[in-house]
Structure 1
Amino acid sequence: MEMPETELTATKRPVWNAGRTVGAKRALKPKQIWEIRFYLNQRRRLRDRALFDLAIDSKLRGCDLVQMKIGDIVSGGQIRTRAIVMQQKTGRPVQFELLPDARASLLAWLDRRGGTVDDYVFPSRVDHNGHLSTRQYARLVDEWVTGVGLMRSD
């Protein structure tokens, strides 16, 4: 009995994730976090440093991180010490503390960026009313990790 042509091609095609690590990645070690901070400071990448610090302090998923609005983290002209964000995936609120390093980098970024409490903290360069895409955020993380000499797969 002959196999249909579609079954033959399906069996010859390599699996999309062959040799790749899928799923959650290992957490960064404190030394690696400081290396990335130094890397971003050295290159004067204010937005990226604020994004990185916020990601480390909040431990949010990328989709929740890029959708944060200025009003979520600012109160009365100052960066809050604690913030609450509704997770997109679970629909549950997450409260996290913003450490002094993150508050300083966010304040510097927001001073340069400007905007109102209804604007996104990290706006898109393409869609001025939208936020940074999760795909662009992933590219930035890859750039930071490889910039300090770490493997992307780790």
Structure 2
Amino acid sequence: MTAPPKPAWNRGKVVGKKPPLTPDEVSLIRLLLRQDSRTQPAAVRDLALFNVALDTCFRGSDLVRLRVADVATPLGVREIVEIRQKKTGTRNARPVQARLSAVTRESLRTYLATEERPLHSWLFTGQGVRWSHSHLSESQLWRLFKGWLVRARLDPALYGLHSLRRTFPTYIHQQTGNLRAAQLLLGHVSIESTKEYIGTEQAEALDIARKYHL
């Protein structure tokens, strides 16, 4: 008697690269978080987190481990953030830099003003006394992102945390064609890794296919 065939591992799942957010989707999520922040203290953190995630293009593992000192000094919020990536730190000694926009710096100022945070403390923590001294985990970050997508009526199954990381460098490349800038933003050693990561060659091939047909 033969055993019944096992279901495919990817049955019902969306596989492949997760797409970046579009500028319109970014604006919508940001608007919803701003509205929520007027009545929900947690949304003040979420707005700052969303903005920092977009501006820095950091991996989730680096984003959740930011400390207050990474983005602020006793004089105020930094414009340039610099970190050593957790994943590639041993292979790439060069730190990664990111610029925080005026919008992001303002959301950080509002967030940091909600309570006294020492410079050595974690930047993005959980809510309540129990979790206020622990940084968010990557799974918590994903749950937050999933909630933002649902609020914006976007299907969470189509996205992942790498969607946040891909959004800004993909937009920069689309607007300027500058792949080197995207590489520096992502902290990639190889430009080929950047091409693969943001799918530039695939996007260019599809664009050509739109212009030519049999």
Shorter-chain TM-score category? 0.7 to 0.9
| Residue in 1 that maps onto 2:116 | 114
Equivalences, count: 147
| Residue in 1 that maps onto 2:35 | 42
d(CA) in 2 for partners of 1:145, 1:120: 25
Q: Which amino acid aligns with 2:98?
A: F
Q: Secondary structure at the match of 1:43?
A: helix
d(CA) in 2 for partners of 1:47, 1:128: 12
Q: Secondary structure at the match of 2:7?
A: coil
Residue 46 of structure 2 is aligned to residue 77 of structure 1: no
Once the two structures are superposed, the pairs formed by residues 3-152 of structure 1 within 5 Å of their partners are: 8=3, 12-44=5-37, 45-91=43-89, 92=92, 93-125=95-127, 126-152=130-156
Cα distance, 1:135 vs. partner? 0.4
Is residue 142–residue 152 contact of structure 1 (8 Å, CA) maintained in 2? Answer: yes
Change (3 A) 1:87 1:24: farther
Q: Which amino acid aligns with 2:44?
A: L
Q: Which amino acid aligns with 1:17?
A: N
Structure 2 length-normalised TM: 0.64
d(CA) in 1 for partners of 2:136, 2:105: 20
14-23 or 113-122: bigger deviation: 14-23
Q: Secondary structure at the match of 1:96?
A: strand
Q: Secondary structure at the match of 1:150?
A: coil
Structure 1 length-normalised TM: 0.87
Cα distance, 1:12 vs. partner? 4.1
Q: Secondary structure at the match of 2:113?
A: helix
Q: Which amino acid aligns with 1:133?
A: S
Give the number of the structure whose residues are more often helix, by fraction. Answer: 2
Cα distance, 1:127 vs. partner? 4.1
Is residue 73–residue 80 contact of structure 1 (8 Å, CA) maintained in 2? Answer: yes
| Residue in 1 that maps onto 2:157 | 153
Q: Percent identity?
A: 33
Is residue 124–residue 133 contact of structure 1 (8 Å, CA) maintained in 2? Answer: no
Gaps of 5+ in 1: none
Change (3 A) 1:69 1:23: farther
Change (3 A) 1:17 1:114: farther
State the superposition RMSD in angstroms: 1.8
Cα distance, 1:133 vs. partner? 0.9
Q: Secondary structure at the match of 2:54?
A: helix
Q: Which amino acid aligns with 2:85?
A: Q
d(CA) in 2 for partners of 1:26, 1:46: 26
